[in-house]
Amino acid sequence: MTRLFPDRPLDENGQRKQFVSSILPPAKEEDWTLDPTGNWTGYLTKTTGTTDLDQSRGHNKANEIDTDNNHANSPGNPLDNLHSNWAYRVMSSLAWTLKSWCGLLLPARPGPWKSRHREQKRSLVRMEFKGFLNAMMRLPCQIVRTGRRIVYRLMSWNPWTGCLLRLAAALRRPLRC
């Protein structure tokens, strides 16, 4: 008679203990699908066997991303864990809120420019976030410290510079409820 698994210990009843595998499924798994140029066209994350994120994107002939199914109109970024994704979404939400509040706080004073100021205010609220960044935030500026003042010198001009300066003047005053 041949003994199977003689090295397995006996349990309290004198029977051989059952073999239990210590190999568990991975806690977190990431899969990339690469094209011949080395760009990833598919990205998949799984946590304990369930799919968390299934993302795909495509490139044009200039090797620029042209399709991305991760998001509709908001920026998306697959990050390391749930807390990072939550923090990224909170920051994105705050940035969208900043854009909306800038548009809502932009004053439209009575006078000959009132209709133009209202139209600028309306278009700022409806503006895409990328356009808002380029028009109001990404302005080259020189910062000069003189005495007890800090002076911001704008190094370029765009059609939204007047709105930015009116918004800065409105934000200098206390907000009224």
In angstroms, rounded to a whole number, what is the distance separating the alpha carbons of residues 13 and 126? 76
Whole-number pLDDT of residue 1: 46
- State the 10-residue block means of pLDDT for the chain, 177 residues long: 56 67 64 68 70 67 57 53 78 88 87 90 89 89 92 91 90 78
Whole-number pLDDT of residue 69: 54
In angstroms, rounded to a whole number, what is the distance separating the alpha carbons of residues 161 and 135? 8
Based on DSSP, count helices (H) and strands (E) in the chain, helices before strands: 4, 6
Global pTM?
0.50
Question: Tokens 């302005």 sit at which residue?
Answer: 139
Whole-number pLDDT of residue 71: 47
Whole-number pLDDT of residue 118: 92
Whole-number pLDDT of residue 87: 82
Question: Tokens 């439209």 sit at which residue?
Answer: 108
Whole-number pLDDT of residue 72: 47
First to last CA, the chain: 92
In the chain, where the domains are located: 25-70, 77-172
Whole-number pLDDT of residue 23: 61
